[in-house]
Amino acid sequence: TQLLEQSPQFLSIQEGENLTVYCNSSSVFSSLQWYRQEPGEGPVLLVTVVTGGEVKKLKRLTFQFGDARKDSSLHITAAQTGDTGLYLCAGAGSGGGADGLTFGKGTHLIIQP
């Protein structure tokens, strides 16, 4: 079974600060995705990274896939209160995603005004 370890589990920072969330595994993934989940709702896809070393930007969010495709990071610049939520990383294995995803346990992010 492939495992994804996310850190930190909880993070509370002030608006305007920067932060990084990490997602690590000993397994290689064919791709890795980041989702954001609001209370009472299902996860919503933010980004998919496929190639080792790949970097993708989504406004103030920067996502990076490790060179060996075993880890990823999410960096938020100048955090805003609207960034508050549960951030989940999820890896696709040998089935390429057709057989579902392995999820990390998530990072609960609170941005204080």
Partner 1 sequence: EAQVTQNPRYLITVTGKKLTVTCSQNMNHEYMSWYRQDPGLGLRQIYYSMNVEVTDKGDVPEGYKVSRKEKRNFPLILESPSPNQTSLYFCASSSSTQTGGFYGYTFGSGTRLTVV
35 binds partner 1 (CB under 8 A): yes
Gap between the Cα atoms of 15 and 113, Å rounded: 5
Give yes or no for residue 42 binding partner 1 (CB under 8 A). Answer: yes
Does residue 40 interact with partner 1 by CB under 8 A? Answer: yes
Q: Give 16 or 100: the residue with its C-beta nearer to partner 1.
A: 100
Grouping H, G, I as helix, E, B as strand and the rest as coil, residue 83 is: helix
SS3 assignment, position 90: strand
Stretch touching partner 1 by CB under 8 A, among 14-22, 45-53, 61-69, 72-80: 45-53
Rounded to whole angstroms, the Cα distance separating 36 from 47 reads 10
Give the whole-angstrom CA distance, residue 95 versus residue 58.
27
Interacting residues with partner 1 (CB under 8 A)? 1, 31, 33, 35, 40-45, 48, 50, 88, 90, 92, 95-106
